[in-house]
Chain A
Amino acid sequence: MPDWKTDVRKHVRTLRLPPQRELEIIEELTLHLEGRFQDLLSDGYNRDEAYRLATSELLESGVLIRDLQKIESKVVREPVEPGTPGSSNLIADTWQDVRYGMRALRHSPGFTLLAVLLLAIGIGANSAIFGIVNSVLLRPLPYHAADGIMTLWQNNVKAGVARNDVSPANFLDWKQQSRSFELMAGIEPFGFSMIGTGEPEQFRAWLVTAGFFEIMGSQALYGRTFTADEYQPGNNQVVVISYNLWQKRFGGDKNLLNQKLTLNGRPFTVVGIMPADFQFPPDRDIWAPRIIRDSDFQLRGPTYWNVVARLKPDVTQAQAQNELNGIAARLATQYPDTNGEMGVTVESLSELLTGKIKSALLLFLGAVGLVLLIACANVGNLLLMRGTARQREFAIRCALGASRVRVIRQLLIESFLLAFLSGGVGLVMASLALRLILYFNTAKIPRLDQVGIDFAVLVFTIVVATLTAIVFGLIPALEFSRPNLQAITQDGERGAVGPVRRRLRDALVVVEVAVAIVLLTGAGLLVRSFMNLLRVDPGFQKEHVLALQVFLPRGFKAEQATAFFDQSLEKIQQLPGVQAAAVVASPPFIDLETDVPFTVEGQTPPPKGNEPSAFYSEVSAGYLDAMGIPLRAGRFVSNDDRTPSAPVIVINETMARRYFPNQNPIGRQLNLILENQVKVEIVGVVGDVLHSGLDTQPRPELFASYRQSPSTQMTFVVKTGPESEVMVNQIKAAIRTVNPNQTFARVAPMEQLVADSLRQRRFNLFLLVSFALVALGLAAVGIYGSINYSTQLRTREIGVRMALGAQAIDILRMIVLQGLTITFAGIIIGVVTAIMLTRLMSGLLFGVSANDPVTLVAISLLILLIALIASYVPAWRATKLDPLIALRYE
């Protein structure tokens, strides 16, 4: 007799049963096999055969072990009875829903991919723009307790000037008389030329009075800022430099500390290097102490200082403004000549740094919100279509006792899964988009370089994804959780599509079209504004004109300056390829404006202090030729207009129109209120030139010969042939033959200076047009998807129609009309909304009304065209149907 017990035990042991139960099973099975073995022997099998047979029955394809495992290891589950609510466990159920949802998404990869892509575009755009808003507007400034830092400006409400620079004497009075501030400091723009090894260099610098670094709450990264002593005469040959300059010019060499630099011919010790994020006031790399001199108390007229101050902890901005209003009023009575119309503007530093960009950024935030809305509508529609196909599944679940809440939850969880998946993809897209935007950061938006995907952006994305899931998931969830037992018995999808659901789908497409219209209109208006600006004639020829700005060292006497410019111009004009050359104190599109008050001889002068002012610039004789500005009457200044011959002046057309209406201004005299009053004779009238932007109006302008009153800050303007770019170095070299150490503050083609003035607009345009195109694409996908789907549902109907004799053209018309009807509804809603919303962006427009009919009509036609194409494709496909196949459909 074989040892059955051992054989059986070998197999049963793998089940790891309780010992008692294991023994029982082994015993029972052993008895069975013994009986079987004996019976086989008595049936005439020999021992070996009987053993083999019985063993093979025991091991039959593993059935025994597998079945025993099922039965013995667990409590046998009761079969679920339909209709009874099972015990529910929120977490377990939710987890089950999540797994079920993931499976459902995996099973329809096409749907999942499309939905994730659409949502990721929407969410990604939002994350990217939020990233910008966060780093530019929301993140605190990199200065200690930055909320308390104020900037102070002179204003002239009557003249519409909200922020003007401050004169040293007014600053000193504010500082002395006000009690609202802990500290107040003046900042004066300054230039240093450094002569060392290599090419002489020009640096833009700030001279700051005592307290500046304390107000900003900033410490040096290496070394220190200035001590109180260093604001005293004799100790002030020290500078602090920016991180940027330290890295770029000095290669980040720490040995630079306490070394001497030769600036403007004098030795200055570098005492500190500021951290990388210290960029105030912006765009300049060197800070040096500004000593208060006795003469500063007399300088009340000329305004060229910036002022920063730190509020006392218990004082608000409004209180400080109040106090300064009182001080300004006292100063106005005390110094009516200079301060008669002068007020004070208190503006916080953060407002100052971000004010201009704020409205544009908020506009973008709105725009990407709309893009996301379209994406949601699209995905909502996809879910409706997919839901229809899953109708049977939901109906069966309801029939098996799933509550409505449970089905809604299941559907919402699927939406959340989609949204979070899209959020992840969206974040990747956002970081790519940000890199792209940074690359195109033509607007020089402050602090944009610090943008990135950080924690705040992450949280924002999660919130947006959650909201998104609710927005696009709720309607389908509510719609499909309604029990519809009919759907179980119906095989196809057609029966499940009621008019309600179709209206819902159509409504979503209408929303998409309407939102796309709004975005496209906004973008269209910006495009029109931009095109208008490009068409604006600045009053001069910007092509092939180079501008080279120079600062002469302090202490240059007038004759020296004149000689330098004369000789330099002579050398430049000798260069082959140079057609004309001149110097000008205030060239257009370089931010250097000097206003000079004047009275017209022979007209009743206005009260003192209320004289009109004009833009004043010293020029050389060739200026009109070099810039291509037309002469309208008389003559331009000539090189013979020297001191001390009778001073002459040339005015522009705006000035002639405003102050000599219907008169000939030539030969008339003006009194210029410079340091002394100077009587000048008008000898010519020239064309108007725009100075500070293509979107500005020309102002009254005066030109005087630089030989009459030379300035130490002048700009060479050189008209060349088409090869102007390559001539820069030759021109520099020509000037350096006159002064070997001459440095250049700014060198650029005029064309670029004009283009630079459009940076912010170009940036706005780039972003809004991108969003609008994305919106248009999403809307087109939406229209196509919806029409295509409803055409499929109507396959049978189309088959019947064709069988009854409808022509292809009838079918085509029917389907395309359906698409156009929805689109048309969207267009009407969109245009009305656009008219209401675009008013908000009127500040960003130029030469075009916010309700520009051309834009609205063009955009509407564009959408109609897209809708036509989007519905034509499915319609065309429908006409190719074989009626027989169509009838058999389902």
Chain B
Amino acid sequence: MLILALVEDRPRHGYEIAKLIDQRSLGVLQFNVASLYPMLYRLEKRGFITGRWIEKRGERRRRFYKLTPAGKKILSAQRQAWKEFFAALDRVAGINPA
């Protein structure tokens, strides 16, 4: 879900995704090259994201991943599920994820 959420608003390349996860989770969640790419490829194979080589001026070409419609559906379904889960946890144990 994390990866899907990160490529939701705009396409990103692999290293960018890894860095963002690291930064936004304040270092709690870490993906390195060995764990990230297999996951990306798997998501791509399942059709949730799609990767494209894009060249920007003055840079070498990079592979950017963006969310597909199927990925969007799954993401929103997962968001809903987690929301309900945390709501339930909150009602029971008083945890507020927000």
What residues make up the interface of A, taking CB atoms closer than 8 Å to B? 24-25, 27-29, 31-33, 35-36, 39, 54, 57-60, 63-64, 67-68, 70-72, 76
Which residue from A24, A28, A60, A72 sits with its C-beta under 8 Å from B32? Answer: A60
Kindly list the 7 A-B residue pairs having the minimum CB-CB distance in the complex, ordered from nearest: A67-B38, A57-B32, A64-B34, A35-B15, A60-B34, A32-B15, A63-B34
In the bound assembly, the distance between CA atoms of A57 and B34 in angstroms comes to 6
Q: Does B35 contact A (CB under 8 A)?
A: yes
Closest to B31 in A: A57
Q: Does B73 contact A (CB under 8 A)?
A: no
B33 touches A64 (CB 8 A): yes
In the bound assembly, the distance between CA atoms of A153 and B30 in angstroms comes to 105
A36 touches B15 (CB 8 A): yes
Which residue from B35, B46, B62 sits with its C-beta under 8 Å from A63? Answer: B35
B-side contacts of A64, CB under 8 Å: 33-35, 37-38
26 A–B contacts from the bound complex (CB under 8 Å): A27-B63, A31-B13, A31-B14, A31-B15, A32-B14, A32-B15, A32-B18, A32-B33, A33-B33, A36-B15, A57-B32, A58-B33, A60-B34, A60-B35, A63-B34, A64-B34, A64-B35, A67-B39, A67-B42, A68-B37, A71-B38, A71-B41, A71-B42, A76-B42, A76-B45, A76-B46
B34 touches A28 (CB 8 A): no
With A24-B63, A25-B37, A67-B39 already in contact, 14 other A-B pairs whose C-beta atoms are closer than 8 Å: A24-B53, A28-B37, A28-B63, A29-B37, A32-B14, A36-B15, A57-B34, A60-B35, A63-B38, A64-B37, A68-B37, A68-B41, A71-B38, A76-B46
Q: Does B56 contact A (CB under 8 A)?
A: no
In the bound assembly, the distance between CA atoms of A25 and B14 in angstroms comes to 11
In the bound assembly, the distance between CA atoms of A825 and B34 in angstroms comes to 72
Closest to A65 in B: B34
Q: How far is the CB of B15 from chain A (nearest CB, A)?
A: 4
Q: How far is the CB of B26 from chain A (nearest CB, A)?
A: 16
Q: Does B60 contact A (CB under 8 A)?
A: yes
B-side contacts of A33, CB under 8 Å: 33
In the bound assembly, the distance between CA atoms of A32 and B14 in angstroms comes to 7
A58 touches B42 (CB 8 A): no
Per-position 1/0 for B9-20, Cβ under 8 A of A: 000011100110
Q: How far is the CB of A378 from chain B (nearest CB, A)?
A: 53
Most buried by A among B32, B37, B45, B62: B32
A31 and B37 contact, Cβ closer than 8 Å, known pairs A71-B45, A76-B42, A76-B46:
no
B-side contacts of A32, CB under 8 Å: 14-15, 18, 33, 36-37
A72 and B33 contact, Cβ closer than 8 Å, known pairs A24-B63, A31-B13, A31-B15:
no
Q: How far is the CB of B35 from chain A (nearest CB, A)?
A: 6
B-side contacts of A67, CB under 8 Å: 35, 38-39, 42
What residues make up the interface of B, taking CB atoms closer than 8 Å to A? 13-15, 18-19, 32-39, 41-42, 45-46, 53, 60, 62-63
Closest to B61 in A: A27
Which residue from B34, B53, B60 sits with its C-beta under 8 Å from A58? Answer: B34
B-side contacts of A72, CB under 8 Å: 41
A-B contact count (CB 8 A): 64
A29 touches B13 (CB 8 A): no
In the bound assembly, the distance between CA atoms of A68 and B32 in angstroms comes to 14
A28 and B14 contact, Cβ closer than 8 Å, known pairs A76-B42, A76-B45:
yes
In the bound assembly, the distance between CA atoms of A6 and B23 in angstroms comes to 29
In the bound assembly, the distance between CA atoms of A36 and B37 in angstroms comes to 14
In the bound assembly, the distance between CA atoms of A57 and B30 in angstroms comes to 11
A-side contacts of B36, CB under 8 Å: 32
Most buried by A among B13, B35, B37: B37
A-side contacts of B46, CB under 8 Å: 76
B-side contacts of A29, CB under 8 Å: 33, 37
B-side contacts of A70, CB under 8 Å: 38
In the bound assembly, the distance between CA atoms of A24 and B51 in angstroms comes to 11
B-side contacts of A71, CB under 8 Å: 38, 41-42, 45
Q: How far is the CB of B49 from chain A (nearest CB, A)?
A: 13
Closest to A70 in B: B38
Closest to A69 in B: B38
In the bound assembly, the distance between CA atoms of A770 and B37 in angstroms comes to 72
In the bound assembly, the distance between CA atoms of A239 and B39 in angstroms comes to 96
Q: How far is the CB of A139 from chain B (nearest CB, A)?
A: 67
Closest to A57 in B: B32
In the bound assembly, the distance between CA atoms of A72 and B15 in angstroms comes to 20
A-side contacts of B19, CB under 8 Å: 35, 39
A57 and B33 contact, Cβ closer than 8 Å, known pairs A32-B15, A71-B45:
yes
Which residue from A24, A36, A76 sits with its C-beta under 8 Å from B33? Answer: A36
Closest to A24 in B: B63
A59 and B34 contact, Cβ closer than 8 Å, known pairs A35-B15, A36-B15:
yes
In the bound assembly, the distance between CA atoms of A413 and B13 in angstroms comes to 54
In the bound assembly, the distance between CA atoms of A348 and B77 in angstroms comes to 89
A-side contacts of B18, CB under 8 Å: 32, 36
A-side contacts of B42, CB under 8 Å: 67, 71, 76
B-side contacts of A54, CB under 8 Å: 33
Closest to A55 in B: B33
In the bound assembly, the distance between CA atoms of A27 and B35 in angstroms comes to 17
In the bound assembly, the distance between CA atoms of A564 and B13 in angstroms comes to 126
Closest to B35 in A: A63
In the bound assembly, the distance between CA atoms of A54 and B34 in angstroms comes to 10
A-side contacts of B32, CB under 8 Å: 36, 57-58, 60
In the bound assembly, the distance between CA atoms of A57 and B36 in angstroms comes to 11
In the bound assembly, the distance between CA atoms of A67 and B46 in angstroms comes to 15
A-side contacts of B45, CB under 8 Å: 71, 76
A-side contacts of B34, CB under 8 Å: 57-60, 63-64
In the bound assembly, the distance between CA atoms of A32 and B18 in angstroms comes to 9
In the bound assembly, the distance between CA atoms of A866 and B18 in angstroms comes to 76
Q: How far is the CB of B87 from chain A (nearest CB, A)?
A: 27
B-side contacts of A24, CB under 8 Å: 53, 63
In the bound assembly, the distance between CA atoms of A585 and B9 in angstroms comes to 124
Q: How far is the CB of A294 from chain B (nearest CB, A)?
A: 109
B-side contacts of A39, CB under 8 Å: 19
Q: How far is the CB of A67 from chain B (nearest CB, A)?
A: 3
Closest to B13 in A: A31
In the bound assembly, the distance between CA atoms of A24 and B18 in angstroms comes to 19
A-side contacts of B37, CB under 8 Å: 25, 28-29, 32, 64, 68
Closest to B53 in A: A24
In the bound assembly, the distance between CA atoms of A54 and B35 in angstroms comes to 13
A-side contacts of B33, CB under 8 Å: 29, 32-33, 36, 54, 57-58, 64
In the bound assembly, the distance between CA atoms of A25 and B63 in angstroms comes to 10
In the bound assembly, the distance between CA atoms of A692 and B75 in angstroms comes to 101
Closest to A75 in B: B45
Q: How far is the CB of B13 from chain A (nearest CB, A)?
A: 7
B-side contacts of A28, CB under 8 Å: 14, 37, 62-63
Q: How far is the CB of B62 from chain A (nearest CB, A)?
A: 6
In the bound assembly, the distance between CA atoms of A27 and B53 in angstroms comes to 11
Q: How far is the CB of A646 from chain B (nearest CB, A)?
A: 124
A-side contacts of B41, CB under 8 Å: 68, 71-72
In the bound assembly, the distance between CA atoms of A21 and B15 in angstroms comes to 19
In the bound assembly, the distance between CA atoms of A60 and B37 in angstroms comes to 13
In the bound assembly, the distance between CA atoms of A71 and B42 in angstroms comes to 6
Most buried by B among A24, A32, A57: A32
In the bound assembly, the distance between CA atoms of A35 and B45 in angstroms comes to 25
B-side contacts of A35, CB under 8 Å: 15, 19
In the bound assembly, the distance between CA atoms of A71 and B44 in angstroms comes to 10
Q: How far is the CB of A339 from chain B (nearest CB, A)?
A: 103
B-side contacts of A68, CB under 8 Å: 37-38, 41
In the bound assembly, the distance between CA atoms of A28 and B39 in angstroms comes to 14
Q: How far is the CB of A23 from chain B (nearest CB, A)?
A: 11
In the bound assembly, the distance between CA atoms of A76 and B32 in angstroms comes to 23
Closest to B38 in A: A67
B-side contacts of A76, CB under 8 Å: 42, 45-46
